[in-house]
Amino acid sequence: MIKEILLGGALLFAMSTGSRMKGHGLGEKDEELMKERITYYGTVKEDVKKGSHRIVAKRLESDHPKADQGLFCEELILLTKGVHVVDEDGTEKTIDNLKKGDKLKVVTPAVVSMVNAIPPQIPGKSIYEITLLK
């Protein structure tokens, strides 16, 4: 009886995901979305503290149809440890000198994993690149 309940629960879960499992537990559609890149533009909301690995950004926006509307919130923290940060010329940069009002370009996958916190946070594994704009 217990085996049947466990098997039934596992089958129900598998059917409710809506996608066939492949590779590392992602469906084919999920893998495609992880490869697709979306560009957002935003503004630094407060000065970055020296040695910090986080940018407090204001209203990341994109006109891409698959853009994650959750990133359009008033305040968002970008956790930058391990993220490629460059200027518009492609020169490697640090975020230590970012000031309130500086402009950013942030490239993410189509599906962004976010930490459910207030304000929301995007971990570095969900950020492909940050470009510091002039």
State the total domains in the chain: 2
79 and 124 housed in the same domain = yes
Residue 47's SS3 state is coil
Backbone angles phi, psi at 27, to 5 degrees: -75, 170
Dist CA 82 CA 66 (whole Å): 25
Q: Provide the token pair at 44.
A: 């630094």
57 and 21 housed in the same domain = no
Query: Are 71 and 40 spatial neighbours (Cβ–Cβ below 8 Å)?
Result: yes
β partners of residue 77: 56, 121
45 and 19 housed in the same domain = no
21 and 42 housed in the same domain = no
CATH of the domain at 101: 2.40.50
Tens digit of each residue's pLDDT (9 = 90 or more) over 96-113: 989 999 999 999 998 888
46 and 77 housed in the same domain = yes
23 and 87 housed in the same domain = no
Tens digit of each residue's pLDDT (9 = 90 or more) over 65-107: 988 877 778 889 999 999 999 999 999 999 998 999 999 999 9
18 and 80 housed in the same domain = no
Q: Provide the token pair at 90.
A: 């492609």
Look at the block and give the residue holding tokens 């495609």.
32
69 and 116 housed in the same domain = yes
Whole-number mean pLDDT of the chain?
81
84 and 43 housed in the same domain = yes
Burial 96-120 (b: 16+ CB within 10 A, else e): eebeeebebbbebbbbbebeeeeee
15 and 76 housed in the same domain = no
66 and 111 housed in the same domain = yes
7 and 45 housed in the same domain = no
N- to C-terminal Cα distance for the chain?
66
Q: Which domain holds residue 62?
A: 37-133
Q: Provide the token pair at 17.
A: 């995901």
Q: Which amino acid is at 119?
A: P
